[in-house]
Amino acid sequence: MPLTPLHDRVIVRAAQPEEVTKGGIILPDTAKEKPQQGEVIAVGPGKIGDDGKTIAMQVKKGDKVLYGKYSGTEVNIDGEDVLIMRESDIFAIIK
């Protein structure tokens, strides 16, 4: 990954939207919902607190995460769309 996130930011590769519903209906591109989960591919060093110390990140590279529907900023890196977001935009780590 040619990018290194700063402070409390993470780079997430969004999961692919579902092509077929559980009932077997094929969804066109316009009907697909934006995914709300993905894989962390890069993590910044952490947020700097008021006392000047770095607060460690809770997520790490490789974690599967659940995030807000409109969280992050989409960027295209080497032909791949990824999201850059703050750690606080992540709701949970999926085990």
Report the C-alpha gap between 34 and 94 in whole angstroms. Answer: 18
Contact 42, 1 (CB under 8 A): yes
Phi–psi pair at 10, nearest 5 degrees = -130, 155
CA triplet 85, 91, 95: central angle to 5 degrees?
Answer: 110
Per-residue pLDDT of 15-73, as tens digits, reads 776 565 566 666 665 555 566 889 999 999 988 888 989 888 889 999 999 998 888 88
Between 25 and 77, the more confident residue is 77
Contact 93, 72 (CB under 8 A): no
Which residue type sits at 49? G
Using DSSP's 3-state secondary structure scheme, residue 88 falls into: helix
Q: Which CATH architecture has domain 9-94?
A: Roll (2.30)
The predicted model scores a pTM of 0.76
Q: What's 4-48 look like in SS3?
A: CCCCCEEEEEECCCCCECCCCCECCHHHCCCCCEEEEEEECCCEE
